[in-house]
Amino acid sequence: MKAHDGMYIDGAWRPAAGTGTIEVTNPADGTLLATVPAGGPEDVAAAVRAARAALPGWAATPPAERAARLDALRRILTDRREEIARTVTAELGSPLTLSQKVHAAVPIAVCTGYAELAAAYSFEERLGNSLVLREPVGVVGAITPWNYPLHQIVAKAAPALAAGCTMVLKPAEDTPLVAQLFAEAVDEAGVPAGVFNLVTGLGPVAGQALAEHEDIDLLSFTGSTAVGRRIGAAAASGVKRVALELGGKSANVVLPGADLAKAVKAGVANVMSNSGQTCSAWTRMLVDSERYEEAVRLAAEATAKYTTGDPLDEATRVGPLVNAAQRERVTGYIERGREEGARLVAGGAEPPEGAERGHYVRPTVFADVTPGMTIAQEEIFGPVLSLLKYEDTEDALRIANGTVYGLAGAVWSEDEEEAVAFARRMETGQVDINGGRFNPLAPFGGYKQSGVGRELGVHGLEEYLQTKSLQL
């Protein structure tokens, strides 16, 4: 696994301005994978200059040509999908099977969608005596997280490039290697120099410099709500447009009469996937009081099947968390849950047997969780499921809506119309009905403190466009 010792700026790999470095380690065993440069304000400034210089040419490039570059990028990512999967497994710790099915496959699907959309989207329309133009917003600063490292990059880069924007990417410091691989793919796809630029570095240094840079027109950030507040404030001071995809505490509501076994099995799978490091995970399962104890039993039984271990072992279903700080955070929440009176029915804060070297956490389930408990209100970002009891559907709705978050959710019912009616009343950006599949063309984003703006599909493209009207 190779790593570049420079930044990808203006179509070439260039030495960093400073000498600082970031060590990239394997969370499964702590071994050193690579070292990448820790960029700073000078590197960010150079990247922004390159993006600004490239903007007029790329914005004027016909949408069909932009679509062709995205299609070339899609082909390259497809050809390198196994390398992508192994890179993500190495630096994130996700089981290889998950890396293949999700971390490599979903970005390819998203890139495919934007290649098609760039060619088909109407960038102009007539409204009465006006010609309404949709033009690129300009230079985009993108700050992406480590939990779905390539997907989050593509979910910003593909629509930005389709819109005619240029950009500077600052990826998460835990997972910079797949970001470098993406930069290689962009270069190979023939995207002109300066249109896409990559600066690796620490969030409080390079990320902050990007958010504050006066020549950034839109700042798109995915990460925690706490960091999102700081990033948003820094960007807002320069009157930049801001897109924020933040945290979640999503409710999985099992309505009376729903197929309980199916709902619980799917709910556990959703929370345990990617070691629970998913902002949209359904971490609160709401079940009616009559079937609550059966749901607790089913959840404990399902969780017992989630084997923790080496991400390269096909039997492994739950890999390590990304780093030691995350492990401490998650085990701290597990301990807090017990202290506040929740009943531990699976897992716990102790390391799994035989997994003491890596950053592993036991897949954990709590019962007797009440809405005011810390584990029912705060985003844990680990393989931890809380089961809450409700008395009737109005009570379920109050509990589901009773957090500062509103990113995703799920509803299960024997009557789809009933489920849809309930979902309409949920204060959240995306709801899966009876196990509805993820759709990369549908908008993704949150209500309340889960964010501002939408990603994916047409709605994601329009985040990177601004409107001009010509009165004729």
Average pLDDT of 25-48? Answer: 97
pLDDT bin (cut points 50, 70, 90) of residue 135 is very high
Catalytic residues: 245, 279
* Domain contains 107: yes
Q: What's the pLDDT score for residue 446?
A: 97
Does residue 200 share a domain with residue 55?
yes
Q: SS3 of 25, please?
A: strand
Whether the model clears a pTM of 0.95, i.e. scores above it, the answer is: yes
* Domain contains 405: yes
* Domain contains 164: yes
What pairing do the DSSP bridges indicate for beta strands 409-412 and 432-433? parallel
* Domain contains 1: no
pLDDT tens, position by position, 274-316:
999 999 999 999 999 999 999 999 999 999 999 999 999 999 9
pLDDT bin (cut points 50, 70, 90) of residue 142 is very high
Beta bridge partners of 23: 35
Does residue 220 share a domain with residue 135?
yes
Whole-angstrom distance, CA of residue 348 vs CA of residue 338? 9
Average pLDDT of 169-184? Answer: 98
* Domain contains 54: yes
In the chain, % helix, strand, coil (3-state, to 5) comes to 40, 20, 40
Does residue 311 share a domain with residue 207?
no
Q: What's the pLDDT score for residue 354?
A: 80
407 by Cβ neighbours in 10 Å (0-12 / 13-18 / 19+) ranks as buried
* Domain contains 198: yes
Q: Name the average pLDDT for the chain.
A: 97
Distance of CA 63 to the CA centre of its chain: 27
CB 457 within 8 A of CB 442: yes
Does residue 130 share a domain with residue 68?
yes
Whole-angstrom distance, CA of residue 190 vs CA of residue 23? 30
Does residue 210 share a domain with residue 134?
yes
CATH of the domain at 258: 3.40.309.10
* Other Cβ atoms closer than 10 A to 315: 9
Whole-angstrom distance, CA of residue 118 vs CA of residue 70? 9
340 by Cβ neighbours in 10 Å (0-12 / 13-18 / 19+) ranks as middle
Length reported for the chain: 472
Q: What's the pLDDT score for residue 309?
A: 93
Q: Nearest CA to 192 among 58, 46, 8?
A: 58
175 half-sphere exposure, CB direction, 13 A CA radius: 32
Whole-angstrom distance, CA of residue 436 vs CA of residue 185? 32
Whole-angstrom distance, CA of residue 38 vs CA of residue 43? 9
Residue 440 structure tokens? 């990369």
Q: How many domains in the chain?
A: 2
Q: Nearest CA to 180 among 158, 204, 150, 208?
A: 150
Residue 301 structure tokens? 């039984």
Whole-angstrom distance, CA of residue 106 vs CA of residue 280? 15
Does residue 330 share a domain with residue 196?
no
Q: SS3 of 157, please?
A: helix
**pLDDT at residue 356 is higher than 80:** no
Q: What's the pLDDT score for residue 340?
A: 98
* Domain contains 30: yes
Does residue 163 share a domain with residue 19?
yes
Does residue 358 share a domain with residue 226?
no
CATH of the domain at 13: 3.40.605.10
pLDDT tens, position by position, 143-167:
999 999 999 999 999 999 999 999 9
Beta bridge partners of 253: 286, 411
Q: Nearest CA to 246 among 445, 8, 36, 19?
A: 445
Does residue 43 share a domain with residue 118?
yes
pLDDT more than 70, % of the chain: 100
Does residue 134 share a domain with residue 23?
yes
* DSSP 8-state symbol, 391: S
**pLDDT at residue 235 is higher than 90:** no
Q: What's the pLDDT score for residue 353?
A: 86
Structural domain range at position 182? 6-246+449-471
Does residue 110 share a domain with residue 42?
yes
Q: DSSP string spanning 255-270?
A: -TTS-HHHHHHHHHHH
| Angle between the N-to-C axes of helices 149-163 and 63-79, in degrees from 0 to 180, rounded to the nearest 10 | 160
Does residue 192 share a domain with residue 157?
yes
| Angle between the N-to-C axes of helices 177-188 and 63-79, in degrees from 0 to 180, rounded to the nearest 10 | 130
